Structure 1
Amino acid sequence: MTNRLESVSARRLACARCGTEFTCDPSGACWCFEETVRLPLPSEGQESAFHDCLCRDCLHAFAATTAAR
């Protein structure tokens, strides 16, 4: 079976929270694969606060504020 992410190339993104540009590589070489911080996927019918990836700093900051609740 072919991993469909293998054919996806890296892309330049702007953080959905602060606008910082970074590279996202869904093939597994992305920095986020090394992170232990995870944000929950939105439930069905629930809109996500962010519509795309966050940079490393914003991911940590958002996870810290979410954990504090």
Structure 2
Amino acid sequence: MNEVILPRKRWQQIFNVQMIFALIVTILEMIPKRGHTAGNIFQLVFLCLVIGLNFYIQFKRKNPSKLNHEITR
């Protein structure tokens, strides 16, 4: 069986898709509930902060690969 080794950039792309998918699921989970609990709102805010930090480091830093790799680990 051959082992597949993906480059760091591919893993980052997979992580980005997972984070956006988690954000969509969280928003869809909050829609049918009339009373938004503090836990759901905290989860949404925290997820938005993590996604924002992730994309900021990817696109605004001079060498994003080292720092972003450590954060995603």
Q: TM-score, normalised by structure 1?
A: 0.27
Would you tell me which structure has more helix in proportion to its own residues? Answer: 2
Q: Bigger radius of gyration, 1 or 2?
A: 2
**Which is richer in strand?**
1
